[in-house]
Amino acid sequence: MLKKKILNEKSKIKKPSAVEEVFSELKNKGLIDKNRTLIKCPISLNFQGLWLSINYNPVFENIKKEYARFVLLHEEGHIKRCSRTYLIIWIIIALVAFVFLLIYFLLNARPDIVNLSELINLLLLFLFLLLIIVLFLLKIFCPFMREDEFDADLWAATKLYSEYGVNEPHVLMKEALEEIRKLASSPPFHSFLQKIPFLRNLINFLRNLIKYHPPDEERIQYVKTYFDKRPKQAKKSR
Ligand SMILES: [Zn+2]
């Protein structure tokens, strides 16, 4: 009876996923900041390093550990290098906050001038203008955001080289990106987006409009070119 109870209790303790295990491993090695948290986020499209946390879609939780190392280090690379991508995100957040504060103060100062329909029109107008400004800013920052991707890849690749003895990180990177793309187009991932067609269409529209991410081949080639010039080292564990 007691044995059964212990077994039941044991089965209740969830085994950490591959991504969670690698995250702890990288933290223990000091490659990921000790204050960083890992968040499983069903609305996340991929992996995203967001200052205090790295968010990821659960569809990726059991990718091969080697691949998880690359993607987590890539995200940490973005955060560690204070990517300009973060600057643009903060500018956008500040803009949104500013617009809402402006509306709030306007309504407080002159409650008499606005009725409900005017308020809705005003809000829609502000949101439309905000969207235009945000898209404009993203377009301007596009080249910098592209460069950030190469920088984050290189940061991850140099850590894989120095800490894990991966002599050809571009090979591992190619496999990891292929796996991520495959899972991102897999049914569980899509079914979530397909539940909300508006969201799916909006994401596709914005993705096509901005397209700051360089193609995978370019990213792989960039890392390959860098490492082709480096001396090979004795292989540690991969
Ligand atoms: Zn990135």
Q: What is the pLDDT of residues 169-215, one digit of tens each?
A: 999 999 999 999 999 887 776 666 667 777 777 777 777 776 777 89
Please tell me the pTM assigned to this model: 0.74
List Cα–Cα distances, 157 to 52, 61, 76, in angstroms. 22, 21, 12
d(CA 177, CA 110) in angstroms, rounded, equals 54
- One digit per residue, the tens of pLDDT, for the chain of length 238 reads 555 555 555 555 678 899 999 999 999 999 999 999 999 988 787 888 877 899 999 899 999 999 999 999 999 998 887 666 777 777 778 888 887 788 778 777 776 666 777 777 877 887 888 888 877 877 787 888 888 899 999 999 999 999 999 999 999 999 999 999 999 887 776 666 667 777 777 777 777 776 777 899 999 999 999 988 876 665 554 4
d(CA 177, CA 61) in angstroms, rounded, equals 15
- 54 strand-pairing partners: 38, 49
Give the helix ranges, DSSP H, for the chain. 2-12, 18-28, 65-80, 84-109, 116-164, 169-184, 187-195, 197-210, 216-228
40 alpha carbon – ligand 1 mean position (Å): 17
7 alpha carbon – ligand 1 mean position (Å): 42
107 alpha carbon – ligand 1 mean position (Å): 40
4 alpha carbon – ligand 1 mean position (Å): 47
Rounded to the nearest 10°, the torsion over CA 227, 234, 23, 150 is 0
Rounded to the nearest angstrom, the gap between the alpha carbon of residue 139 and the centroid of all alpha carbons in its chain is 19
Q: How many CB atoms lie within 10 A of CB 235?
A: 10
Judging by beta carbons within 10 Å of its beta carbon (0-12, 13-18, 19+), is residue 92 exposed, middle or buried?
middle
Q: Which residue has the tokens 């409900």?
A: 116
- Cβ atoms of 74 and 95 within 8 Å: the answer is no
d(CA 185, CA 193) in angstroms, rounded, equals 11
List Cα–Cα distances, 73 to 30, 47, 151, 190, 206, in angstroms. 11, 11, 11, 26, 26
Per domain, the residue ranges of the chain are: 14-62+73-228
- 56 strand-pairing partners: 40, 47
d(CA 63, CA 149) in angstroms, rounded, equals 21
2 alpha carbon – ligand 1 mean position (Å): 50
176 alpha carbon – ligand 1 mean position (Å): 13
For 172-181, b/e burial (b = at least 16 CB within 10 A) is: bbbebbebbe
What is the structure's pLDDT at 235? Answer: 53
What is the structure's pLDDT at 238? Answer: 46
165 alpha carbon – ligand 1 mean position (Å): 23
85 alpha carbon – ligand 1 mean position (Å): 9
152 alpha carbon – ligand 1 mean position (Å): 6
- Cβ atoms of 130 and 99 within 8 Å: the answer is yes
166 alpha carbon – ligand 1 mean position (Å): 20
195 alpha carbon – ligand 1 mean position (Å): 26
